[in-house]
A = this chain, B = another copy of it.
Amino acid sequence: MSSSLTIYNSLSGKTELFKSISPNKVGMYVCGPTVYNNVHLGNCRTFISFDLIYRYLIHLGYKVRYVRNITDVGHLEYDEDQGEDRISKKARSESIEPMEVVQKYTIDFHKTLSKFNLFPPSIEPTATGHIIDQIEFIKKIIDAGYAYEINNSVYFDVLKFNKKHKYGKLSGRNIEDLIHNTRDLDGVSDKKNPQDFALWKKAELIHIMKWPSPWGEGFPGWHLECSAMSSKYLGDKFDIHGGGMDLKFPHHECEIAQSESINKVSPVKYWVHANMLTLNGKKMSKSTGNNILPGEIFSGKNKIFKKPFKPEVVKFFIMQAHYRSVLDISEDALNASEKGYNKLISALKLLDNINPSKKDTSFNFDDWNKKCYSALNDDFNSPVLIANLFDAVKFINSVNNNLDNISAATLIKLKTSFKAFVNDILGLYGNFSSSYDEKKLKDILNILIELRSSSRKNKDFETSDKIRNELNKIGIKLEDNTDETEIRLN
């Protein structure tokens, strides 16, 4: 299977056959979160997309080293910005130390991704944990002649780099246009040219997070950590580099420049970018209120949707679009996904209960299975895979209703494949246990409530009282209102 996997490479703008640099091994780096706030849903979409890629590569038999960083240095948003960085700002507003901010939001990040049933990466390096590596990286760029020190800061010389290499090849930007469009906002920058970017910034007095360096006390530039950490753990040239579409420029472009300036080769074979998530047709934004956090969706405590949706439903919704398409989340769309998800999982469960027959079947397993793999091999096309899965769902339901047949041999193959797609590759079932326990609990409870109400109808008050009392003993109170029974769980 592995030989036919194709991936859309942002660098070439083409879908290419995937061929790993070392046989059977894949190195993948994905830009992780800046932990100064709760992880937002758009980021979750990115990480869910790369989880699918990670899982499918593992399924194909690759040994994958998946590195995803934690940005815990609160970078300035613009080089020109002389004020506080984002983590220090947050620390001051919450009146705690920067590393407490980091701890709080790293925990939130891990908790949220684990609710979505994502595999943790193989290595999760932090920017603060790799200051030395970043300093060493800067020294090499200076030695290669592509960076200059000025007033205790170090900048990357984009124009000089562009003379020998091409700056802008990932984002398709032209250096002349960049020069034309970049303005020196305040005129006080130390940079030779406004296109240059910081590798090391002198720490102003207001900065809390700073380290000693050959250029004085300061902190690394925004783009540097990913170059330093990806090369440390994956080598100077590795297979896949991923991230959100918004990171293509300038972040990934600068990563390429940093690595190429010292290694002469492009650091990444396949650049992969996940697209945006919009909410009700508009860009998500805190300031306009068109914004929702994952936790708010799961709990239902939000002003956007009328009811809660479970992580597995949100994840299924995200998988129903291809990772390179813009996706719009809305209540209607989530309701539809919820129905679809339940249908898919019901079929999954039915597979363990349906009985094979000796008769022939209308279902061509090999053909179906091939189509599923073709979808995945076509740049991880999860919506097409899911459409194929629903063809199987239809068939499974027909067999269950005795409208179709399945032989024992086909049943085993179907069961194995269907579970591999739903559980292992899409990661849609199996590790959302708590919500499942809850659902099962309610299902069983409903059987009891129904039994009790039929006992009461039949004037069998002995049974109905017994059910009520036994439930009471384990902390579940039933309150009979005029038209329905209300349940209170302690």
Residues of A within 8 A of B (CB): 65, 96-97, 99-100, 102-103, 107, 110, 120-126, 128-129, 131-132, 136, 211-212, 233, 349, 352-353, 433-434, 437-438, 440-441, 443-445, 447-448, 450-451, 463, 466-467, 470-471, 474-476, 489-490
Contact = CB atoms under 8 A, between A and B. Distances in A.
Contacts of A212: 132, 136
A126 B107 CA distance: 15
Contacts of A97: 65, 123, 233
A65 B233 CA distance: 33
A107 B120 contact: yes
Contacts of A131: 131-132
A467 B444 contact: no
A441 B437 contact: yes
Contact of A448 (B123, B434, B448): B448
Contacts of A466: 451
How many copies of the polypeptide does the oligomer hold?
Answer: 2
15 contacts: A65-B97, A97-B233, A99-B125, A100-B123, A103-B121, A103-B124, A434-B434, A440-B441, A440-B474, A440-B476, A441-B444, A444-B444, A444-B448, A448-B448, A451-B463
7 A-B pairs closest in CB distance: A129-B129, A437-B437, A443-B474, A99-B123, A447-B470, A441-B441, A434-B434
Contacts of A470: 447, 450
A99 B447 contact: no
A474 to B, nearest CB: 4
Contacts of A132: 131-132, 211-212
Nearest to A139: B212
A476 B437 CA distance: 12
Contacts of A123: 97, 99-100, 102-103
A427 to B, nearest CB: 17
Nearest to A72: B129
A37 B378 CA distance: 40
Contact of A122 (B100, B352, B450): B100
A474 B103 CA distance: 41
A130 B306 CA distance: 47
Given A99-B233, A434-B434, A490 B349 contact: yes
Nearest to A107: B120
Contacts of A122: 96, 100, 103
A490 B442 CA distance: 16
Contacts of A120: 103, 107
Contacts of A100: 65, 122-123
A444 B474 contact: yes
A448 B451 CA distance: 9
Nearest to A444: B444
